[in-house]
Amino acid sequence: MSARGTGAPRGAAKLLAVHWPLVLLLSAVAGMGFMMLYSVAGGSLDPWARAQMIRFALGLCVMLVIAMIDIRFWKLVSPLAYLGSFALLLYVEAAGHVGMGAQRWINLGFIVLQPSEMMKISLVMVLAAYYARLDPGKVSRPLWMVPPLALILAPVALVMTQPDLGTSIMLLAGGAAVMFLAGVSIWYFATAAAAAAGLVTLVLRSRGTDWQLLRDYQFNRIDTFLDPGRDPLGTGYHITQAKIALGSGGLAGRGFMQGTQSRLNFLPEKHTDFIFTTLAEEFGFLGTLALLILFTLVILFCVQSAIANRDRFGALLTGGIGATFFLFFAVNMAMVMGLMPVVGVPLPLVSYGGSAMLVLLAAFGLAQSAHVHRPRERG
Amino acid sequence: MSAAPPPRITRRALMLLGVQLGVVGVLGWRMRDLQVRQHEHYAMLADENRINLRLIPPARGTITDRAGVPLAINRRNYRVSLVREQAGDPPAILDRLGRIIPIDAETRERALREIATHSAFVPVVIAEHLTWEDVARISANAPVLPGVVAEVGLSRSYPLGRDTGHVVGYVGPVSESDLAKIEDPDPVLRIPRFQIGKTGVEQRMEDTLRGEAGTLRIEVSAAGRVMRELGRAEGTPGQDVALTLDEGLQSYAMRRMEGESAAAAVIDVTNGDIVALASAPGFDPNSFVFGIGVAEWNSLLEDEYRPLAAKTVAGAYPPGSTFKPVVALAALAAGTIAPGDRVHCAGFTQLGNRRFHCWKHGGHGSVDLRKSLSQSCDCYYYEVARRTGADAIAAMARRLGLGYRHDLPLPAVTAGLMPDRAWKAETRKESWTVGDSFNYGIGQGYTLASPLQLAVMAARVATGTEVAPRLVRAIGGVDLPFEPPKSLGLDPRHLEAVRNGMFAVSNEGTAYRSRIADPAMLMAGKTGTSQVRVITAAERARGVTKNEQLPWNRRDHALFIAFAPYDKPRYAIAQIVEHGGGGSAVAAPIARDILLYALCGGEPPLEAYPPEQRKSIGEQRARMPAAEAAPPAAGTRDRA
C-alpha cells in the first residue's frame, strides 16, 4: 500500500492537521504544574517554575517538529532509537559503577538526559514497529513472542540493577500494553499475571535469605507502604505527610500558596514526585479531580486517535504512548495516595524535571505525527 | 492494494481503555475518600504538625518582710546566645566575644558542641548572669559579632542573703527527682531551666509563688523553625507573699548571734506573728540559685555549726529548766502543789539508790514556787513532777504549744517530744518510772522542743491564750484573716504565779544580770542549761568537769525564754546557744538584746540596760558586725 495516496496533508497544512485540542490539554496540565512550582517556591518563579516553563516551551517545539516529520520515518528509525537508548542505558550503568553511586543521567549541558526515560518511549516505538511488520495472524505464536519479550526484558534487567523499581514497572507495563494492543492472546497475559503473583511471593519470601531479590531499602518501602505508621519519622514519613497534605486540602483546598504542609517543608520532594500533594492541599478535591479529568482526556484522545488510525504502526504507537502516559500519572498518584509503594515516578508534565517532560512531549510529537500522517479515506 | 487492510486495534484499545478508566475511577474514589470523607482527620493532623504550644514561664511572686522589705525578688539576668546560621563561623565569633567577656575553655567547648548538635537557627547560650555593662559592650560590638544575641531573663535574688536564708529558702532548676515527687506535674516544670523552690518558704509556698504559665501558639516548620506567632495567652504571675518577719530584727538577731551556733525565735504574743526566726550561722541562698560550687557546698556540709540547718524550727533540744514553767502550771492545774507550798532542797533528792542532784551544790533549802523558778531549783521540780505525773505534764505541755508540729510553711518543722506513759510503753516497751518523772520535771530525759515551740510556750504563758505562730502575713497583697487567740482556760491565779516567778528570774534570780532596766519594758524569763551528756556518779564524786574543759560538742546547751514587757506582754522569745554553756550567762544576754531591739523597733537606747552594763554594751555594739549595707551585686558570673 502506498501512503502517498492516502491524502495526508502537506506543507503548512500539516500544522493545521495537528490535534490542537491535545496541545491545549497538555498546556493546561503543564500550566497547573507551573502554578504549583511557583507556590512551593514560596511564591517565586525561581528556582523551579521559570526553568520548567522554558523547558515546556522547548518541548512544545520539539513536539511540533516531530509531528511534522512523516510517521514512516519514525517507523524506520524506531529500531535505531531503541538501540541508542539501550546503549545510553548501558553507558550510565557502567559509569554508575565507575562513578559515585547510582548516577542515572547524562548531562548534556543544556539538559540532563535520563536514558531510562528515553527507553520508555523507544520501547513503545520498537514494539509498534515490530507488530506493524508482523503478520497479525502470527502475533500469538510462541516463536514470534520471543523478540518482543527480549526487547522488553533487556532494558528492564538493566534498569532493575540500577536499581529503579518504578521505571522497571513502567517498562514492563508499557511493553505489555503494546503487545496487548497488537492482539497477543489474552492467555499470555493471564499466565504472566499468575507468574507475576508467584514472583511477588517469591521476592517477599526471599527476604532475609542469601538469595534476597530486592535491596533492603526496597523491602523497607514495601513495609512502609503496608503500614506507614510503623516508622512515622523514617521511611513512612513521606507517605504519612503526603496523606496529611492530601486530606487537609478538603473539598476546595486551603487556597493558592496557603498549603502549610508544603510551605513549612513537611512534605519531602514537594516539587518533584510529591507535587500532587501540594495541588491537593491548596486546591482540594476539586483541584485534583480537575487534573485527573485532564489526564483522562489525554488518554481518551490517544485511544480515539489509535482507533481511528488505519495505519497499524501509528495506531499501536499512539495507543502505547497513551498507555505510558497513563502509567506515569496512575503510578504517581497511587503512590502519593498510599495505594502503592513509593517507587519514584514523576507526575507527568507537572513534576519539576527536564528529562521526563522532554521525552513525554517528544512522545506526544510521535502521536501527533501518527495523527497528522494517518491514512485518510478517499472520497 | 489487494491485501486486506490489517486488523484494527479497536477492540483491544477499548479493552485497555476500560482498564485504564477503571484505575482512574479507583484513583478518583481514593481522592474523594482522603480529601472529603477523612478531611477533618487529616486537617487536624496538619495543624498538629505545624502548631506548637510553647509555655511562657510566669513571673514568680516576691517574698517580703512584714513591712514590704524585699527578701526574694526577681532580678534581670542578662545572657548571650549564639545563632549558628547568623554567626557563620562560630569559633571565630567566640574568639571575638571572648575578648569582651571572659569565656573559659570549658564553656567554649560546651558551646561549640551544642552549636554543632542543634539546628542552625537554635540560639545556644554562651554566658549567663552578665552585668548590664557586659551587655552594653557586646551591643556596641554587634557589627563584628553576627549571630550573638543578648537576652534578658529573670533570676531569683535574695537581697538579705544569709540573714533570711533559712526562712525564705532558695530556688533551683527542676530536677528529675522533683518531677518524680509531684503527681501530674504542671507542664511549666518541663521548661528547661525552670526554677522551683527547693527549701524554705520558696519550697513550701511553691504553688502560691509560681503562678500560671501563659501559652504561645506558634507555627513551626518541619525543621522546628518558628515561622510566626499565632496567638498568645498571658499567664498569671505568682502571688507575692508577705511574711511576718521584721527584716531589721531578723538581721539584728543574726548579727547578735554571729560566731555562735545558735537560734532565736521571736513571736508577737498579741497575734502569733513570728517577727524573727534566726538560725546562726546562716548560708547565702544566692549561692544556690546558679548552682553552688563543690568547695562551698562541702564547707557548708562539713561545718560542725551546721549552717544549712534551720535550728529554730528543725532543731529539737532538751528544754532543760526553761521547761519548769510548764511543770509548775501542770502541777498547779492538777492541784498537786499550791504557789505557797514549800519543798526542801538539800542539793539532791534520793530515789532508791540513785541521787538526783540540784544544780546548786548544797541545795536551796526551803523553796516555794516563786523561788523555784527564780533560783531554778531542781529538787523542787523532782518533787512536783513526781506528784503530778508524766501524763498531766505532757497534757499541759501540749496546751502550751509543745510536743506537736506547728503549721508553718517551712520544711522539716519538728514536733519535738513530750513523753507520757503511753509513749514510753509503746516506743521503749518499758513502763514509766519515777526517775523519768524527775527528769521530766527539769526538762531533761526524753523531752525535746524546738526554739520556736519554746517561744510559743512563753507567749502562751505570757497571755494565757492559744497564741498560734504564723509566718505569712499577706498573700497577693491581701492580709490573711486573723482570729484573736482563744483563752487557754487556765486559772489566771496559776498563770500569775508562774509569770511572777519568771519575773523574779529576770529581776532577782538566775538571769538578773540580763535584765532590762527600763521600767516600761521589764522582762520575765527563764533560764535553761540542758545537758547533752550523762554525768556519772564517779565524775560527780571527783567534781563535775567544767564546760570550758569539755570539747565544744559535749558542752551544755544554753537556753533562755522570756517575754516583755512584763505588765503588758508584746514579744516572747526563745533563745538557744548550742553547747554555749549556762543559759543565764550565754543565752539570756543575747535574748535580752534581741527582745529590747524588738520592743524599741531598732537599736535600743543604752538607758534600757542596767547602769553597770552600759559601758560594756556600748563596746559590744562596736564589735558587732555592721548591718549589711547593700544587697549583693547584680551580676555574679556563671559558675556553671
CA distances from residue B231 to B153, B188, B214 in whole angstroms, order as listed? 21, 18, 11
What percentage of chain A reaches a pLDDT higher than 90?
A: 46
Is residue A1, in this structure, part of any structural domain at all?
no
A181: nearest CB among B5, B13, B45? B13
Who's near B549: CB < 8 A, 6+ residues apart?
none
Q: How far apart are CA B283 and CA B300, in angstroms?
A: 8
Q: Is A299 on the interface with B (CB under 8 A)?
A: yes
Least confident segment among A260-269, B72-81, B301-310: A260-269
Q: How far apart are CA B73 and CA B488, in angstroms?
A: 40
Mean pLDDT computed over A114-127: 92
Query: Is domain B247-609 given the CATH code 3.40.710.10 in the classification?
Result: yes
CA distances from residue B588 to A227, B251, B323, B443, B596 in whole angstroms, order as listed? 81, 19, 15, 18, 12
Using an 8 Å CB-CB cutoff, list chain B residues near A292: 24, 27-28, 31
Q: Residue B7: what pLDDT?
A: 63
Q: Is A356 on the interface with B (CB under 8 A)?
A: no
pLDDT tens column, A153-169: 999 998 887 777 888 88
Q: Residue B545: what pLDDT?
A: 75
Test B30 with A339 for CB contact under 8 angstroms.
yes
A247: nearest CB among B7, B10, B39? B39
Test A307 with B39 for CB contact under 8 angstroms.
no
Q: How far apart are CA B468 and CA A36, in angstroms?
A: 76
What percentage of chain A reaches a pLDDT higher than 70?
A: 89
Q: Which one-letter DSSP state was computed for residue B356?
A: E
How high does pLDDT run on average in chain B? 87
How high does pLDDT run on average in chain A? 85
pLDDT tens column, A265-304: 777 777 888 899 889 989 999 999 999 999 999 999 999 9
**Parent domain of A226:** 17-372
Q: What 3-state DSSP class applies to B289?
A: helix
Mean pLDDT computed over A218-241: 69
pLDDT tens column, B391-403: 999 999 999 999 9
Q: Residue A230: what pLDDT?
A: 62
Q: At residue A3, does pLDDT exceed 80?
A: no
Is residue A338, in this structure, part of any structural domain at all?
yes
Least confident segment among A9-18, A310-319, B535-544: B535-544
The top-level CATH class assigned to B48-69+160-243 is: alpha beta
Give the number of domains in chain A.
1
Is residue A322, in this structure, part of any structural domain at all?
yes
- Residue B123 C-alpha, separation from nearest chain A C-alpha, in angstroms: 20
Nearest to B66 by CA among B164, B155, B154: B164
Q: Residue B154: what pLDDT?
A: 82
Q: At residue A223, does pLDDT exceed 70?
A: yes
- Residue A238 C-alpha, separation from nearest chain B C-alpha, in angstroms: 12
B8: nearest CB among A243, A244, A307? A307
CA distances from residue A2 to A73, A311, B207 in whole angstroms, order as listed? 14, 11, 98
- Band (pLDDT 50/70/90 cuts) for residue B634 is very low
Nearest residue of chain A to residue B31 (CA atoms)? A285
Using an 8 Å CB-CB cutoff, list chain A residues near B2: none
Q: At residue B588, does pLDDT exceed 70?
A: yes
Using an 8 Å CB-CB cutoff, list chain A residues near B3: 1
Using an 8 Å CB-CB cutoff, list chain B residues near A264: 49-50, 219-222, 227
Is residue A130, in this structure, part of any structural domain at all?
yes
Here the cell at position B297 is 557546698
Q: At residue A246, does pLDDT exceed 90?
A: no
Mean pLDDT computed over B190-202: 84
Test B20 with A319 for CB contact under 8 angstroms.
no
- Band (pLDDT 50/70/90 cuts) for residue B361 is confident
Here the cell at position A332 is 504517581
Q: How far apart are CA B532 and CA A210, in angstroms?
A: 82
pLDDT tens column, B84-138: 877 778 888 888 888 888 888 888 888 888 888 777 777 788 887 788 888 888 8
Q: At residue A97, does pLDDT exceed 70?
A: no
Task: State the count of interchain CB pairs (< 8 A) between A and B.
Answer: 138
Q: What ipTM is given for this predicted complex?
A: 0.90
Is residue A378, in this structure, part of any structural domain at all?
no
* H-helix or E-strand spanning residue B375: none
pLDDT tens column, A185-199: 899 999 989 998 998
Q: Residue A73: what pLDDT?
A: 94
Chain center to CA of A106 = 19
Domain with CATH 3.40.710.10 in chain B: 247-609
Using an 8 Å CB-CB cutoff, list chain B residues near A319: 9, 13, 16
Strand ranges (E), B66-187: 70-83, 123-130, 148-157, 170-173
Test A247 with B220 for CB contact under 8 angstroms.
no
Q: Residue A235: what pLDDT?
A: 57
Establish how many alpha carbons lie within 13 A of residue A149's alpha carbon, considering only the half-sphere containing its beta carbon: 12
Residues in chain B, overall count: 640
- Band (pLDDT 50/70/90 cuts) for residue A47 is confident
More confident residue, B634 or A27: A27
Q: Residue B1: what pLDDT?
A: 42
Test A330 with B23 for CB contact under 8 angstroms.
yes
Strand ranges (E), B284-424: 343-345, 348-351, 354-357, 365-367
Active site residues of B: 321
Least confident segment among A37-46, A53-62, B446-455: A37-46
Domain with CATH 3.90.1310.10 in chain B: 48-69+160-243
- Residue A237 C-alpha, separation from nearest chain B C-alpha, in angstroms: 11
Q: Residue A99: what pLDDT?
A: 44
Q: At residue A330, does pLDDT exceed 70?
A: yes
Q: At residue B445, does pLDDT exceed 60?
A: yes
Q: What 3-state DSSP class applies to A11?
A: coil
pLDDT tens column, A71-81: 999 999 999 99
* AA identity, residue A306: A
